[in-house]
Amino acid sequence: MNTPDPMAAPQRREHPEPHEAARPMPWYLPALTALLLAFGALYIARSPVGDVPARGDGRSVAELQGPAPGATGTPLDAAALYAARCAACHQASGAGLPGVFPPLAGSEWVTGPQRRLAAVVLHGVSGPLTVKGQPYAGAMPAFAAQLQDAELAALLSHLRGQWGNAAAPVSADTVAAVRRDTAARSGPFQGGAELEAFR
C-alpha cells in the first residue's frame, strides 16, 4: 500500500513560479529607448556649440562680467545694482514693506545729506529708525566690502533720482571720502540718533 505524500496537497495549492518567457519586457520599451538615444545624438551633432547664445537682456559679455578691480570710467548699470542688492527688501518700487523695511521713495534719508546716505550704505544700520514718520527697527547690511566707490556712487545716485526723488547725484569722490572718514568703524550705525549726528 502506497503512503500518501504529505507535501502533495500543499504543493497543489501553490501558484506556479513566475517566469519571463521569451520577451521579458514589452517590445515598445527598447524601441522607445533606442529612438530617444538616436534623437539625443542627432540633436548634439547638429547643435551650433561654437556660437554665442543669445542673451535675453542684450548685455555684452563685458557688461555681464562687471568692472575690473580698480577700473575707472566703466559705465555702471545702477538699476541692476539696485535689483541685485536692494530690491529684495526695499522692493522694485522703492516702497519697502510697511513696518519691516523702510521705503526709499520720498525718504528723507535718501534725499538728505549725501555723506549720511553713503555712510548708511557703507556700514549699515541696526536699531530704531524713523522714515516718513513711521518707526522701523530692522537691520540693514553693510556694503563697504562688496561694492567699490564708483558702484556705490551709481547706486546712491539711482536712489536719489527714482520714484519721485529729485536729489543731486552722489560722486565716487564723496563715497571715497566717507569711506576714509569712517574706516575705523567696525559695526553698523546704531539707529537714527547716531546717523543724525553724522554729517
Whether 171 is covered by a domain: the verdict is yes
- Evaluate the CA torsion angle 73, 75, 79, 84 in order and state its sign: negative
Q: Residue 143: which CATH number?
A: 1.10.760.10
Whether 104 is covered by a domain: the verdict is yes
Whether 143 is covered by a domain: the verdict is yes
pTM for this model (two decimals):
0.60
The count of domains in the chain is: 1
Q: Is 159 exposed, middle or buried (0-12, 13-18, 19+ CB in 10 A)?
A: buried
Q: Which position has the higher pLDDT, 44 or 19?
A: 44
Q: How far is C-alpha 92 from the chain's CA centre? A: 13
Strand bridging mode 134-136 / 139-140: unpaired
| Amino acid (1-letter code) at residue 186 | S
> Would you state the cell numbers that stand for residue 158, as one nine-digit string?
539711482
Indicate whether 111 pLDDT > 60: yes
Q: Which position has the higher pLDDT, 108 or 52?
A: 108
Indicate whether 72 pLDDT > 50: no
For the segment 176-189, what is each residue's pLDDT rounded down to a tens digit? 888 888 888 888 88
Which helix (H) or strand (E) segment holds residue 191: the answer is helix 191-197
Report d(CA 152, CA 140) in Å as an integer: 15
Fill in the DSSP letter of residue 139: E
Whether 65 is covered by a domain: the verdict is no
Whether 24 is covered by a domain: the verdict is no
Whether 60 is covered by a domain: the verdict is no
Return the percentage of the chain with pLDDT > 90, whole number. Answer: 6
Q: Is 85 exposed, middle or buried (0-12, 13-18, 19+ CB in 10 A)?
A: middle
Mean pLDDT of the chain: 79
Whether 177 is covered by a domain: the verdict is yes
H and E: helices and strands count for the chain: 10, 4
Can you tell me the mean pLDDT for 31-37? Answer: 94
Whether 186 is covered by a domain: the verdict is yes
3-state secondary structure of 150: helix
Q: Which domain holds residue 161?
A: 91-197
Indicate whether 128 pLDDT > 90: no
Q: Which of 12-26, 35-49, 83-97, 174-188 has the lowest mean pLDDT?
A: 12-26
